[in-house]
Chain A
């Protein structure tokens, strides 16, 4: 056998490139053990092939590297899950033995998944409904609370009004309409500190831009005792009046006047 002729026949190149038939492959593998020249020829061609491949290298898109590395990381995780420390042989045995079990487990897990997905959907719907109910209840509670606050304030006001009426140190001056109308208001005048409070029992609703004003008659002259706050629904604190013969309410422009418009006198009462 002329080994040089064999080497130079191109069989080495076919072999390295993986283009040989199985017979040829077996032949080359037998001869490379027999003849160092064959082995060397294989190494030589492999190296020149590699060098040529490096010469003609084409850089892949740079973003590909991270994809490849993360794919490898995933494999690594799988591997550590399946076989904590042992190399391949062990894993293969386990796989062969457990072949049908794995199918069962896979089927069971699919069923479990479907059931749990359904349950999740049902529970989520239920949860959404409850959430709506809860929001409605919250709103109702807020409305009730607001109403309660209003009642509480009104009650406190009436309580203090009642306390004033009961208080013996408090002078109560009933003011009535000099024109014989039904209009009535009451002044509470603290004899001790001269604080003045007024309670509107019945007065017509003032027109827009108008406001009731309380006057104290001091030595025959009207003294401003403050305007009536429209938001005050019971007893309203007015200005401190040390001395007065009478009290009266007129309707003035919003914010009050310095001199009362006597044509718009609604109620009057002597002390």
Chain B
């Protein structure tokens, strides 16, 4: 997928900050697939995911000014833009209502146990589901659903310290799995 670096990252960023359309074109070609998989892993609805990908690239274009390469890689920054936009979309009222309807119909066929909502898990989310339950829940709630550690601690009635350490351990495990 990573087909030859035409631009060095710092060069690309500086061109983007100068609003070079050609650089943006390259950015899209180079990163749309990986950002799309980030979006799709949070928002399984493809149509919404398509809208989100567009929204994310528009955001990147608008906010590239605020990206600081001292703080991290361009992709990490874009990943968080994509992740936040996706979580916002999933948390929106209209999406929640649609989801509730879906849940009701799906529950008809449920034979008990935990509700398996997203049958077509993708990318990172698929890997996360290989983690043990107590880790999986934390990654799900924090990374995919955007809850803060404080919120998770209250939701799961687990001390904040435990949430922290468990999440960190979960991510370490995850890192082992995704290591190329």
Q: A21-B148, A53-B37 are in contact. Are A13 and B175 (CB under 8 A)?
A: yes
Q: Is the CB of A65 within 8 A of B28?
A: yes
Interface size class of A (residues with CB under 8 A): 35 or more
Q: A21-B149, A48-B179, A57-B1 are in contact. Are A67 and B34 (CB under 8 A)?
A: no
Any A CB within 8 A of the CB of B159: no
Chain A residues with CB under 8 Å of B143's CB are 17, 19
1/0 per residue, CB under 8 A from A, across B56-72: the answer is 01100110010000011
Q: A17-B143, A48-B175 are in contact. Are A71 and B54 (CB under 8 A)?
A: yes
Chain B residues with CB under 8 Å of A166's CB are none
Distance in angstroms from B62 CB to nearest chain A CB is 7
* A48, A53, A54, A64 interface centre (most CB from chain B within 10 Å): A53
1/0 per residue, CB under 8 A from B, across A48-63: the answer is 1111111111111100
Any B CB within 8 A of the CB of A11: yes
Chain B residues with CB under 8 Å of A59's CB are 32-33, 36
Q: Which partner residue on chain B sits nearest A53 by CB separation?
A: B34
Docked complex: B12-37 residues within 8 A CB-CB of A: 19, 21, 24-25, 28-29, 32-37
Q: Is the CB of A19 within 8 A of B53?
A: no
Q: A48-B175, A68-B58, A69-B28 are in contact. Are A10 and B168 (CB under 8 A)?
A: yes
Q: Which partner residue on chain B sits nearest A20 by CB separation?
A: B149
Interface SS, B side = helix
Any B CB within 8 A of the CB of A210: no
Q: Is the CB of A54 within 8 A of B34?
A: yes
Q: Is the CB of A19 within 8 A of B32?
A: no
Q: Is the CB of B36 within 8 A of A10?
A: no
1/0 per residue, CB under 8 A from B, across A1-25: the answer is 0000000111101101111110010
* CA distance in complex: A21, B147 (Å): 11
Any B CB within 8 A of the CB of A46: yes
B123 interface neighbour in A9, A18, A29, A56, Cβ under 8 Å: A56
* CA distance in complex: A17, B83 (Å): 9
Q: Is the CB of B149 within 8 A of A19?
A: yes
Any A CB within 8 A of the CB of B101: no
Interface SS, A side = helix
Interface stretch of the complex, out of A72-80, A169-177, A213-221, A254-262: A72-80
Q: Which partner residue on chain B sits nearest A11 by CB separation?
A: B168
Interface stretch of the complex, out of B74-82, B91-99, B102-110, B111-119: B74-82
Q: Is the CB of A46 within 8 A of B73?
A: yes
The contact sample of 28 A-B pairs, CB cut-off 8 A, is: A9-B165, A9-B168, A10-B167, A13-B171, A13-B172, A17-B80, A19-B142, A19-B149, A21-B148, A21-B150, A43-B73, A48-B179, A49-B79, A50-B34, A52-B179, A53-B35, A53-B79, A55-B180, A56-B122, A56-B124, A58-B40, A65-B28, A69-B21, A71-B58, A72-B24, A72-B57, A75-B62, A88-B65
Binding site for A on B (CB under 8 A): 1-2, 19, 21, 24-25, 28-29, 32-38, 40, 49-50, 53-54, 57-58, 61-62, 65, 71-73, 75-76, 79-80, 83-84, 122-124, 142-143, 148-150, 164-165, 167-172, 174-175, 178-180
Binding site for B on A (CB under 8 A): 8-11, 13-14, 16-21, 24, 29, 42-43, 45-61, 64-65, 67-69, 71-73, 75-76, 79, 88
